[in-house]
Structure 1
């Protein structure tokens, strides 16, 4: 686990989580939101609509900017062209879930099979049925597999450049295995819940 001792894990209000699909970042984001009593904003949930309609690029920044200005949040998902520097600069902690590519490919294959069989529901409810019916991003979706297979080569240099631009390397923790993810999660103190946690509406 790549970590920095200057990160105060007892006072976390803004957390950015990045990493490849299938690595477990969204699961970690949900667990942290519950443990820290922080609002969770999943960018896939925000930007994707019924029947796999994606929010136009020019409308994505205006949607995300007010969220970044809030005092508390966990923002999950990459969208490297959408205010990534601003997210990094505003974060108390940046978590890079960086599991091996083979593991991510295995996980998305397993997930696609379970979703098609209507066993697992990791997509927003409004597009879950479209996924089942149209088999979008299923085991036959070569483009999605290519995205995952080339993720490290394409996105990691951009992450590194953005960390430098935002002067945020000292905020970064990189988790490279399920064991490291568990160890990190267990090291985070639980924040008492004073009010119901409100996440971005679906």
Structure 2
């Protein structure tokens, strides 16, 4: 893992990982530390009432977002990972256990049920119990992780892979220290 003193050269940061790994929280923390604008992909993907955009519309949206000069972008969306990896200079991948991710999704779902996630989701997309999504979280490591890791290992920019939440916490602490010195 590279040292976090790369903050000065971070311009386009992609944060990926299983649902529930804390991508949005990590993006907000990194945005606070670096001053880079945060783009929560869920807020651009979902339309009111949890409607999905067409594949063409979604790719066009991603093209517009990655064309911006500076950003921190959180979200998976495998169908556009190639575009985002080509545009990013830094990748943070949260490779946390299924138990960690599932517990976080359950907590978020039950504590936020019927509420909106301001800035993370558009209006009309209230937190809800979504059993197919929860199954996706439970199966992510078996069905999607290897594909994501293959794409990530081909990434030519700075790459940070964290397998435990405390590693990410230490990274942010080191980053904060390097920025303030």
Q: TM-score under structure 1 normalisation?
A: 0.78
Whether 1:174 and 2:161 are equivalent positions in the alignment is: yes
Whether 1:100 and 2:59 are equivalent positions in the alignment is: no
Greater Rg, structure 1 or structure 2? 1
Partner of 1:24: 22
Partner of 1:39: 37
Q: Which runs of 5+ in 1 are unaligned?
A: 193-202
Q: How many residues align?
A: 178
Q: Equivalent residues in 2 for 1:135-150 (5 A)?
A: 136=128, 138=129, 141-150=130-139
Is the contact made by 1:68 and 1:87 (CA closer than 8 Å) also made in structure 2? Answer: yes
Q: Deviations over 1:146-190 (max 9, x none)?
A: 1001111222222233235xx425522111122111111112247
Q: Quick check: which one's helix share is greater?
A: 2
Give 1:66 shift.
2.1
Is the contact made by 2:7 and 2:179 (CA closer than 8 Å) also made in structure 1? Answer: no
CA distance in 1: counterparts of 2:70 and 2:162, whole angstroms: 23
Q: Equivalent residues in 2 for 1:150-189 (5 A)?
A: 150-164=139-153, 167-168=154-155, 171-189=158-176
Partner-residue secondary structure (3-state), 1:168: coil
Structure 1 residues 102 and 6, CA, compared in 2 at 3 Å: closer, same or farther?
A: closer
Q: Which runs of 5+ in 2 are unaligned?
A: none
Partner-residue secondary structure (3-state), 2:9: coil
RMSD: 2.4
Partner of 1:91: 88
